[in-house]
């Protein structure tokens, strides 16, 4: 069996790569990309079978760039995965915790470990990527420095873990979306739970959003996520992104979407895919 080639943003050892390895069935090969834009382009140009992107974090919120990219590219969401984010303090082999004077990482990782870093009394240095900070540490061979990154980054770059779970809040999860050129196709006997993601716009008039959301409320359809993004070139007009529980071909879902399209000025299904259920402990 030929391995799936999965595009992700970041360097080897990034959390996005870890999500790809945990979500997709083996065998898998991963393709590092410099930007989220490149992930979309690689999939569109058939340079890989799938892409995986973060869409929201339980502490930091939504990744707005990826909402905009989903709108502007004809790719389909075919799955979701919740990854527990575990920031490890990494150093060169043989370095002791008391030797560390400066810690490198992505600004978000540094912010999520702020209290524990303050207790260590170290300086912080912002880098563009968590895994990139681990690679930087290895390349510079700086024995006074450490990096905040994943356990996998320690394996990739030959670093030791000084402290596991450096994050101040353990309820730190990132939701990832799997992207493909073709939509997910539900099998007849498939009994899994499903989720559907859509995007739409409305005329800016009283009650428009109320009516749009009402098509789901009237049918007892659970909305799991609502996000709005400004429409470039049209100040104070918005695109609305909604995730709801249900598969697009189910009668209840289909009727709700048919009703919604009667009142929207733009409408598109981004994907209908298996729902990832996870206990957030």
pLDDT band at 96 (very low <50, low <70, confident <90, very high): very high
Task: List the domain boundaries for the chain.
Answer: 4-85+172-180, 88-163, 194-274
Distance, in Å, from the CA atom of 187 to the CA atom of 153, rounded to the nearest integer, reads 37
**Predicted confidence (pLDDT) per residue in 180-201, tens digit:** 999 999 887 787 899 999 999 9
User: Is the entire prediction scored with pTM above 0.75?
Assistant: yes
Which of the following CATH numbers is that of domain 4-85+172-180: 3.40.190.10, 3.40.50.720, 3.30.70.360, 3.30.200.20?
3.40.190.10
As assigned by CATH, the class of the 194-274 domain is alpha beta
At 263, phi and psi to the nearest 5? -120, 0
Residue 176 annotated as catalytic: yes
Nearest to 278 by CA among 190, 165, 166, 173: 173
Cβ neighbors of 50 (< 8 A, separation 6 or more) are 4, 5, 6, 7, 24, 43, 78, 178, 179, 180
What's the token pair of residue 119? Answer: 């207790």
- Catalytically annotated residue among 30, 130, 174, 196: 174
Catalytic residue among 8, 24, 176, 240: 176
Stated as kind and residue range, the H or E segment containing 119 is helix 114-120
For the chain, the farthest-separated pair of C-alpha atoms sits apart, in whole angstroms, at: 65
Per-residue pLDDT reduced to its tens digit, 165-184: 999 998 999 999 999 999 99
| Three-state secondary structure call for residue 212 | helix
Confidence of residue 77 (pLDDT cuts 50, 70, 90): very high
Shared fold status for 4-85+172-180 and 194-274: no
Contact 142, 164 (CB under 8 A): no
Tokens of 92: 């060169």
In whole angstroms, give the CA distance from residue 99 to residue 229. Answer: 46
pLDDT tens readout for residues 226-240: 999 999 889 999 999
Q: Which CATH superfamily is domain 88-163 in?
A: Periplasmic binding protein-like II (3.40.190.10)
Asked if 174 is an active-site residue, the reply is: yes
């Amino acid at each position: 069996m030929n391995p799936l080639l999965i595009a992700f943003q970041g360097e080897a050892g990034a959390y996005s790569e870890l999500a790809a390895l945990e979500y997709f069935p083996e065998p898998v090969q991963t393709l590092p990309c410099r930007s989220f834009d490149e992930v979309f382009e690689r999939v569109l140009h058939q340079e890989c079978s799938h892409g995986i992107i973060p869409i929201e974090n339980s502490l930091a919120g939504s990744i707005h760039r990826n909402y905009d990219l989903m709108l502007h590219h004809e790719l389909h969401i075919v799955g979701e995965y919740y990854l527990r984010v575990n920031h490890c303090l990494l150093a060169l082999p043989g370095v002791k915790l008391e030797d560390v004077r400066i810690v490198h990482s992505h600004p978000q990782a540094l912010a999520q470990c702020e209290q524990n870093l303050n207790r260590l009394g170290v300086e912080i240095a912002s880098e563009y990527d968590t895994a990139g900070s681990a690679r930087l540490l290895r390349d510079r061979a700086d024995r006074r420095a450490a990096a905040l990154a994943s356990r996998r980054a320690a394996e990739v770059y030959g670093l030791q873990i000084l402290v596991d779970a450096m994050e101040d809040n353990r309820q730190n999860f990132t939701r990832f979306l799997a992207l493909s050129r073709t939509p997910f196709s539900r099998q007849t006997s498939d009994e899994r739970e499903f989720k559907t993601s859509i995007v739409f716009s409305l005329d800016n008039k009283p009650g428009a959003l109320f009516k749009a959301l009402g098509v789901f409320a009237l049918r007892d359809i659970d909305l799991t996520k609502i996000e709005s993004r400004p429409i470039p070139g049209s100040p104070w007009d918005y695109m609305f992104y909604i995730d709801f529980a249900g598969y697009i071909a189910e009668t209840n879902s289909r009727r709700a979407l048919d009703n919604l399209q009667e009142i929207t000025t733009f409408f598109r299904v981004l994907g209908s895919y298996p729902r990832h259920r996870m206990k957030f402990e």
